Amino acid sequence: MGARYGITGNVKDGDSHANLAGETVSLKFQGAGATNPTAVTDSDGNFTLTGIPAGHYRKLQVTGHGYTASSEVTVTAGPPVVVNFTPRKDWAGPG
């Protein structure tokens, strides 16, 4: 098993810039290690995913409560990679 690294960040409302608690953040991949590692944002909108092999991933996604956003991310050796999201609420969608 190779070395594992992490992703950390924050999720804020794209309009009000308020921290978003309870949003699900997932790295969509299947390979060595955890499949689709997932975290839920804390009361300050922060999240941390750990145990991720170094590499480029096409879909780091945040969803929940009417918010959806995604980003590509490259995980490298060393401290966790920081990825912040500022999705806008989809008032017409579920949640």
Over residues 17-29, the pLDDT tens digits come to 999 999 999 998 7
Q: What is the pLDDT of residue 50?
A: 93
Least confident of 12-16, 32-36, 48-52: 32-36
28 sits in the region (left: phi over 0; alpha: psi -120 to 50; else beta) called beta
Per DSSP, 53 falls in state E
On the question of pLDDT at 1 being above 60, the answer is no
Cβ count near 92 (within 10 Å): 6
- Specify the DSSP class assigned to residue 63: E
pLDDT at residue 53 tops 70: yes
**For the whole model, what pTM was predicted?**
0.89
Task: State the chain's mean pLDDT as an integer.
Answer: 90
- Confirm if 49 and 25 have CB atoms less than 8 A apart: yes
